[in-house]
Amino acid sequence: MASKVLVFIDAGFLSKVSMYFGEGKYLKFKIKNFVDNICSKNGFACEKIFYYTAPPYQSNNFNKDEAARKERYDSFRSLLVKEGVIFREGRVQRLKLDGNFVYRQKGVDTLLTIDLSHVREDYPGIEKVVLISSDTDFCPVIKDVTERGLEVLLFTYFDRKRGSSFSLSNHLLKVCSGFIKLTREDFG
C-alpha cells in the first residue's frame, strides 16, 4: 500500500531546476503531473500539494510588462487552485542596488515553515512529507518535526561544486529522513 504524503514545493527552487534541465529555458510541465511522477516512482500517494511562491512585482504605476506578467501568474495560480493545490503566497520586494533593481521573495519560506510545523496537528494521518527544495533555512523546522515523528523526504537537485548555484549543504541532507535527487525525467 502506498504511503500517504503531503508535497511541499518551493516554487523558486523548482523553477531554477526546470531552467537547468531545460538548458536555459523553462521546461513546460504540469505541477500535478510532476508530483504524480515523483510520488508513483517512490510508492507514495499524494494527499495534498502545497505550492509556495510570490506574485510578480507590481509597481504603483505598473507598466504593460508588469500587467502581462501578473495576468500570466493569475492564470497559472487559478489553474493550480482549481486542481486542489494549496497555493501560498509571500510578496516580492524590489531594491535598487548599485543602480540596478533586484527582486527578492519575502515571507515565502516562513509560510512553508509554518505549514510544515503544523502537519501533525492539521493532517494527523500523515507520516511523511515530501519537500522539494534546497534551502537550508528549513533545517530547524525539519529537525523539529522529524524529532516529533514526521518523516521529511527531500527531493532536490545538487552538484558537488562549491559555490555553484546547485551546491547544497550537507546539513540539509542530514536533518531530512532521506533525500532523492530530481532528474529531467521527473518533469515528464
Domain that holds residue 174: 3-187
Note the pLDDT tens digit of each residue in 16-37.
Answer: 999 999 999 999 999 999 999 9
At 60 the pLDDT is 85
Give the closest residue to 92 by CA, choosing from 74, 80, 107: 107
Note the pLDDT tens digit of each residue in 128-173.
Answer: 999 999 999 999 999 999 999 999 999 999 987 777 778 788 899 9
CATH number of the domain encompassing residue 119: 3.40.50.1010
R_g of the chain, CA atoms, integer Å = 17
CA 69 – CA 74 distance, rounded (Å):
9
Strand duo 100-106 + 91-97: pairing:
antiparallel
pTM: predicted TM-score of the whole model, two decimal places? 0.93
Do the beta carbons of residue 154 and residue 179 sit within 8 Å?
A: yes
